[in-house]
């Protein structure tokens, strides 16, 4: 017997769309003028040149994510004084995605520059694992901060122990904890100035810069990750969600800093 149209079950379009995975974040389009972007880039170059002229041992802590690749590019394609005066390093926490680690090789082949890696103290990691297990950081904010302390803050302190200034790729728009971020602030804990040269940049400006200069980026950005940290503590975000919604997503957005930028949290 042949099948007729009335035999075919009707599928509810609403039910199908409910099954469809949600649209993920994609890099935003820049709709401003080229002149405005060029002006922003000039200002960035001047900011970096000013830092390199004032300090001898400035260091840039790169997470290897989008904003930090803008700064990496501006430093490594900057004047010899900027390239020599601001050294780029990253915190190799031991829990990074393979895609993030691959950025180190991309930078090496694109710029001929080896980003210095700081790793956590092996004994401290072992003690944490013995006491709290591999993923103990999901159990409480205190245990999450303890893990960040071991894998990020202590290596950062070591990396900055001889620095006379440091830089980050933070932007004001990224989070409520960063809304008042200045270009220059004093890192009271370390007794040195801290610079946020992209504080006033927007997300579309960041992506316009990366595309315009063909900067190598983390492959995770194309999989819905606007902000990237350690693998177990970062996930892709939906279109329209806060760009840092995928970082420590199980915590309140008022507490989402890893200790590297503790000044951002108002106590």
Of 4-12, 55-63, 102-110, 142-150, which part binds ligand SF4 (CB under 6 A)?
142-150
Kindly state whether residue 171 participates in binding ligand SF4, applying the rule CB under 6 A: no
Q: How many residues can be counted in the chain?
A: 267
User: Using CB under 6 A, which of 55, 137, 166, 195 touches ligand SF4?
Assistant: 137
Kindly state whether residue 148 participates in binding ligand SF4, applying the rule CB under 6 A: yes
Instruction: Give residue 181's Cα distance to chain centre.
Output: 16
Task: Work out how close the CB of 53 gets to ligand SF4 at its nearest, in angstroms, rounded to a whole number.
Answer: 34
Kindly state whether residue 60 participates in binding ligand SF4, applying the rule CB under 6 A: no
* Residue 23 annotated to the active site: no
Most distant CA pair in the chain: distance in Å?
Answer: 87
Of 83-102, binders to ligand SF4 (CB under 6 A) are 93, 95
Return the number of the residue (110 or 178) whose C-beta is nearest ligand SF4.
178
Of 15-23, 76-84, 145-153, 199-207, which part binds ligand SF4 (CB under 6 A)?
145-153
| Residue 253 labeled ligand binder | no
User: Using CB under 6 A, which of 22, 32, 133, 232 touches ligand SF4?
Assistant: 232
Q: Which residues pair with 187 in a beta bridge?
A: 192
| Binding pattern for the stretch 246-265 against ligand SF4, x by CB under 6 A and - elsewhere | ------------x-------
Task: Work out how close the CB of 150 gets to ligand SF4 at its nearest, in angstroms, rounded to a whole number.
Answer: 7
Token output for 25: 């974040």
- Residues that are catalytic: 258
Query: Residues in the site for ligand SF4, rule: CB under 6 A?
Result: 93, 95, 137, 144, 147-148, 151-152, 229-230, 232-233, 258
């Amino acid at each position: 017997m042949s099948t007729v149209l009335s035999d075919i079950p009707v599928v509810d379009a609403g039910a199908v769309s409910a099954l469809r995975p949600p649209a993920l974040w994609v890099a935003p389009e820049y709709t401003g003028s080229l002149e405005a972007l060029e002006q922003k880039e000039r200002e960035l170059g001047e900011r970096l040149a000013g830092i390199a002229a004032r300090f001898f041992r400035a260091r840039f802590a790169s997470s290897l994510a989008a904003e930090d690749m803008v700064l990496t590019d501006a430093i490594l394609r900057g004047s010899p004084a900027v390239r020599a005066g601001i050294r780029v390093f990253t915190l190799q926490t031991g829990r990074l995605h393979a895609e993030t680690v691959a950025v180190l090789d991309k930078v090496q082949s694109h710029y001929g520059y080896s980003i210095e890696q700081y790793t956590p103290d092996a004994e401290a990691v072992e003690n944490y694992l013995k006491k709290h297990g591999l993923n103990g950081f999901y159990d409480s904010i205190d245990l999450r901060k303890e893990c960040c302390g071991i894998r990020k803050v202590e290596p950062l302190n070591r990396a900055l122990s001889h620095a006379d200034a440091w830089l980050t790729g933070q932007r004001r728009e990224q989070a409520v904890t960063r809304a008042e971020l200045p270009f220059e602030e004093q890192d009271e804990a370390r007794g040195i100035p801290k610079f946020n040269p992209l504080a006033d940049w927007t997300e579309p400006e960041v992506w316009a810069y990366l595309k315009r200069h063909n900067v190598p980026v983390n492959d995770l950005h194309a999989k819905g990750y606007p902000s990237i940290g350690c693998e177990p503590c970062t996930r892709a975000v939906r279109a329209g969600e806060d760009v840092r919604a995928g970082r420590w997503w199980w915590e309140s957005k008022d507490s989402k800093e890893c200790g590297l930028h503790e000044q951002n949290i108002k106590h």
